[in-house]
Structure 1
Amino acid sequence: MTTNPSPKFDPSPQFVILGAWGDLASRLLLPGLASLIAHRSEFAPRLLGVGRAPDGEGGDSWSALVRVKLESAGEERAERAAAQAEYVQCDLLDEYDVRALVDRLETGCVLYFALPPSVTGELVELLARTGVPEGTRLALEKPIGTSESAARELNAAAQRLVPEDRIFRVDHFLGNALVLNVLGVRFANQVFEPLWNRTYVERVEIVYDEDLTVEGRGDFYDGTGALVDMLQSHLLLVSAIVCMDEPSRIDPVEFRDLMAHALRAMRVYDGDPVASSRRARYTAGRIGDREVPDYTDEPGVDGRRGTETLAEVTLEVRSQRWAGVPIVLRSGKALGRQRRVIRLLMRPVPVVPVGLAGEAAPNVLELDLGTGDFTLGVVTSAVDDPQTLDRAVLRARLGRSALTPYGEVLEMLIDGDPLLSVRDDVSERCWAIVQPVRDAWASDAVPLETYAAGTDGPGEWSTSAG
């Protein structure tokens, strides 16, 4: 889905993965590259893995990992990529090691920072001293920094290293074709766009509930929690697409301008982070046939931190279009069911004609980001009694991209198209929006509730989002 492919970039660059043995590289980045390799026959990146390998592992193990993770692109392509793959053992915070690494970089390479934000920040500062080859592109993973000020410092350091048009801030939710389908649904249908405002919409909910636990990533997750891991980045960006004004064209300037405009108008509902946020943590329970331990008993977790595994925040957009409409963001782990939805609850009709029995339930428009189901709940007359109201659901299934969300984002990175790159001001604004909530939680003004793994969250969370 490239909007403005740039001829100035090598279509098959040296692709350097900083943090090659990390979970992100193995679970998301390499499979994303596989989907792009399968999609584009001319794409043959030269993979250079960089980091500290587990004891006893090195170049051969890296090549084997590349082969396994790229096998969905086809055996021949996976073998070719594995044969070309190289590995460098490197302490990424040691200037001597980094200078030796820079000597191996090629003109026009991609440096992909599959690293924790604290390490990314230090490494960017270090690279600013060593320099990088001409045409180098940086791919920075979310979260950008650990606060608004840290994001601003990281952005400034990256811009000292390379120009802004060579910095690609990655959030794979923007590569989800189903998220981007919101644009088509909104702006290409006369039946929806005129109603997409506070006059007709009572509430917006963006929910990303998972039945997965921390899955062995306790040491990472315990330092972030659901608020930072999901709401501060992924779900805020989705909310910007849902709430943005109509663009005249989908290009990197206007699309990202309108996202930034929506986020600049966004704040915690009523300016009250205590009343407008909730947090909870899972306890021992059962998900399907699996027994789940208490979160505090997960490896790498320090229960004294008070990290939440379920977060819900209500926001508002102070604009003519959305004033007064609650925008609810929610995400959590170890829940009883997976729900990945964008939901608009419409206001009820003001009056129902006398003679029609039953309830005129409000219309609900929902896009399932997992299945691609697009549904609209409507009120009809009952089949056997035309004077009794009934409810029906209109359903369609939206098409999916041949690429994974990471593949979509990587395609634009390779082509030099910044449409799906998170702009510097947006990465900083997302931190500013959630900071009042972080402060309220840090002071324990909002209680840390609990829920048993395998349930839908604390029982008193009775909103439709919960």
Structure 2
Amino acid sequence: MAANATPSSRVKTLLILGGTGDLSHRLLLPGLARLIARGRAPGLVVVGSGSRDWSQDEWKQRVRDSFSSEYEAASADARRELDAAVQRSSYLQLDLASPSGLGPDLLELEPPLAVYFALPPKLTLQTVEGLSPRDLPPETLLVLEKPFGSDQASARDLNRRLVSLVPEERIFRVDHFLGMTTVMNIVGMRFSNRLLEPIWNSLHIEKMEIVFDEQLALEGRAKYYDASGALEDMIQSHLLHTMAFMAIGPPASLAERDLRDLVAATLRASSVSGDFSRSTRRARYTAGVIDGKEVEGYADSPGVDPARNTETLAEIEIAIDNDRWAGVPFILRSGKAQARTRKEAVVTFRPVNHLPEGFTGSTTLPSRLRISFNPAYLELELNVNGPADIFRLDRSTLSSKLHTSQLTPYGEVLEAVLEGNRLLSVRGDIAEECWRIVDPVLAAWRSNEVPMGTYAAGTQGPSGWESSRGSL
């Protein structure tokens, strides 16, 4: 059993609200299949729900289809486990437009129960509002997808409603981007190396950049994405949390409270720096070419309302107002339809105080540490004496692979839920802090205080962005 889990918390029934939807089919059920195939979800009963008039056989076929990629690589024993899970699964036709009718169905399910809200944010809120504590079996867990609310006030209201149903320790706000592997790779690297931890501060680090750029364009997500954009979809929802783990002080242990208390304290000290026209940037892609394939401009894509002025590339500079990080910019960036996919943190160290006169070559390049999240590897860029000329400094890179999970990101999320492991659950106050940080930026962007740039699909962003901020 994983750390932070209690024996009584092992979930026996997983109810997926929105089980007939795309999230369940593409991500949740395939992630669960890998757990089952590896014997890490013994006896779990999966119950799907939706408004569609599906028979039990139609639901079982949906589960089997979602498990298909795992069947292909599975051993005979693993296939039997997958088959058994399909046969145990069942379907509930539910109309969540009237969520007050959900209670009797929940009470029929075997506890401990986890209710996974694989729903759009508005429908999640509507469903939560329609529930009461008496509708929930003992030890029920409530599992919610990001985003949690649409601003700090709505996140606070949602949190109040959730804790009126179950205690905070039985609420799982999941962040599939920040899985167990990502967190432990960061924490292990930072706090087990004396080479790094004493210099992990403003005296030695010039800036830190956290990037999630992807080549993918909309890929059919216009309905959701056009109502959020890059700032809400990635930076608010995922990158701020990643930044906090990169910036926390040393925890006493890996217990969830030790880590999450430090994350919360770091975010409370965080804000977007100064004038938003200087500390934030936004843009959206126009028509272009990615890997030889023509991509239409964002504003011309089906389901997009150009009047919304939704950005597909966002960048903000965060200041962390504490002793460790005062004066160090944390630059968070995320974009779609980029020239290449990058999912990494880049730590740029300050230049040496004095370089002996007489060296040539890469004398002005600072040391950098790159932590790639997917694929998981580490690179330390250093200046060393070149092979041809002892007085010339050349760039050299030391690299190492990091731990890679056997599970998918959603598999890691689901395993934590099933075991009652709250380490990766986003605590209520942390969810509110993330909104507090970006709310002023969103307001400034909506009032057009920050201009909207453009970039061709398949490029890294508007002309001038790269040169004005360095290594990104």
Same fold (TM over 0.5): yes
Note if 1:335 corresponds to 2:338: yes
* Paired residues for 1:408-427 under 5 Å: 408-427=412-431
Provide, for residues 98-122 of structure 1, a one-character-per-residue CA deviation record: whole Å limited to 9, x for no partner.
2453343333211000112211111
CA distance in structure 2 between the partners assigned to 1:105 and 1:307 by the alignment: 42
Show the counterpart of 2:190: 186
Note if 1:381 corresponds to 2:385: yes
* Equivalent pair of 2:27/2:410 in contact (CA under 8 Å): yes
Show the counterpart of 2:373: 369
2:404 to 400, 407, 413: 400
Compare 389-398 and 33-42 and name the one that shifted more: 33-42
1:349 to 352, 358, 369: 352
SS of 1:203 mapped into structure 2: strand
Alpha-carbon distance change, 130 to 117 in structure 1, aligned in 2, over 3 angstroms: farther
User: For structure 2, which runs of at least 5 residues remain unmatched after alignment?
Assistant: none
Provide, for residues 351-403 of structure 1, a one-character-per-residue CA deviation record: whole Å limited to 9, x for no partner.
21122223321001001111212100001111111111111111111121112
User: For structure 1, which runs of at least 5 residues remain unmatched after alignment?
Assistant: none
Compare 456-465 and 275-284 and name the one that shifted more: 456-465
CA distance in structure 2 between the partners assigned to 1:97 and 1:296 by the alignment: 40
Alpha-carbon distance change, 192 to 95 in structure 1, aligned in 2, over 3 angstroms: closer
Note if 1:24 corresponds to 2:23: yes
* Paired residues for 1:45-64 under 5 Å: 45-53=44-52, 57-64=54-61
Show the counterpart of 1:7: 7
Counterpart amino acid of residue 62 in structure 2: L
SS of 1:354 mapped into structure 2: coil
CA distance in structure 2 between the partners assigned to 1:339 and 1:261 by the alignment: 28
Counterpart amino acid of residue 330 in structure 2: I
Show the counterpart of 2:113: 109
Counterpart amino acid of residue 90 in structure 1: L
CA distance in structure 2 between the partners assigned to 1:284 and 1:21 by the alignment: 33
Note if 1:298 corresponds to 2:301: yes
Compare 79-88 and 64-73 and name the one that shifted more: 64-73
Note if 1:225 corresponds to 2:229: yes
* Equivalent pair of 1:284/1:292 in contact (CA under 8 Å): yes
Provide, for residues 294-344 of structure 1, a one-character-per-residue CA deviation record: whole Å limited to 9, x for no partner.
112222211111111111111010011100101000011111100011110
CA distance in structure 2 between the partners assigned to 1:37 and 1:366 by the alignment: 34
CA distance in structure 1 between the partners assigned to 2:194 and 2:283 by the alignment: 41
* Equivalent pair of 1:92/1:123 in contact (CA under 8 Å): yes
Deviation at 1:261, TM superposition (A): 0.7
1:150 to 150, 154, 160: 154
CA distance in structure 1 between the partners assigned to 2:66 and 2:80 by the alignment: 13
CA distance in structure 2 between the partners assigned to 1:277 and 1:293 by the alignment: 26
Provide, for residues 43-99 of structure 1, a one-character-per-residue CA deviation record: whole Å limited to 9, x for no partner.
23211111223xx75433321121122241643222222222211221112146424
* Equivalent pair of 1:330/1:465 in contact (CA under 8 Å): no
* Paired residues for 1:258-269 under 5 Å: 258-269=262-273
CA distance in structure 1 between the partners assigned to 2:40 and 2:121 by the alignment: 33
Alpha-carbon distance change, 403 to 129 in structure 1, aligned in 2, over 3 angstroms: closer
Deviation at 1:136, TM superposition (A): 1.0
CA distance in structure 2 between the partners assigned to 1:373 and 1:222 by the alignment: 33
Alpha-carbon distance change, 223 to 465 in structure 1, aligned in 2, over 3 angstroms: farther
Deviation at 1:163, TM superposition (A): 1.3
CA distance in structure 2 between the partners assigned to 1:437 and 1:363 by the alignment: 32
Compare 222-231 and 90-99 and name the one that shifted more: 90-99
Counterpart amino acid of residue 311 in structure 2: E
Show the counterpart of 2:437: 433
CA distance in structure 2 between the partners assigned to 1:425 and 1:118 by the alignment: 20
Show the counterpart of 1:199: 203
Counterpart amino acid of residue 5 in structure 2: P
* Equivalent pair of 1:209/1:337 in contact (CA under 8 Å): yes
Show the counterpart of 1:320: 323
Counterpart amino acid of residue 256 in structure 1: R
* Equivalent pair of 2:15/2:116 in contact (CA under 8 Å): yes
Deviation at 1:218, TM superposition (A): 0.6
Deviation at 1:39, TM superposition (A): 2.8
* Equivalent pair of 1:175/1:407 in contact (CA under 8 Å): no
Alpha-carbon distance change, 355 to 45 in structure 1, aligned in 2, over 3 angstroms: same
Alpha-carbon distance change, 415 to 313 in structure 1, aligned in 2, over 3 angstroms: same
* Equivalent pair of 1:280/1:311 in contact (CA under 8 Å): yes
CA distance in structure 1 between the partners assigned to 2:368 and 2:402 by the alignment: 17
Note if 1:256 corresponds to 2:268: no
Show the counterpart of 1:359: 362
Alpha-carbon distance change, 104 to 347 in structure 1, aligned in 2, over 3 angstroms: same
Identity of counterpart residues, as a percentage?
44
* Equivalent pair of 2:314/2:333 in contact (CA under 8 Å): yes
Deviation at 1:465, TM superposition (A): 5.4
Compare 34-43 and 130-139 and name the one that shifted more: 34-43
RMSD: 1.7
SS of 2:218 mapped into structure 1: coil
SS of 1:8 mapped into structure 2: helix
Counterpart amino acid of residue 354 in structure 2: V
2:86 to 82, 89, 96: 82
Provide, for residues 170-211 of structure 1, a one-character-per-residue CA deviation record: whole Å limited to 9, x for no partner.
001221513431111110001111111111100100000000
SS of 1:230 mapped into structure 2: helix
* Paired residues for 1:116-155 under 5 Å: 116-128=120-132, 131-155=135-159
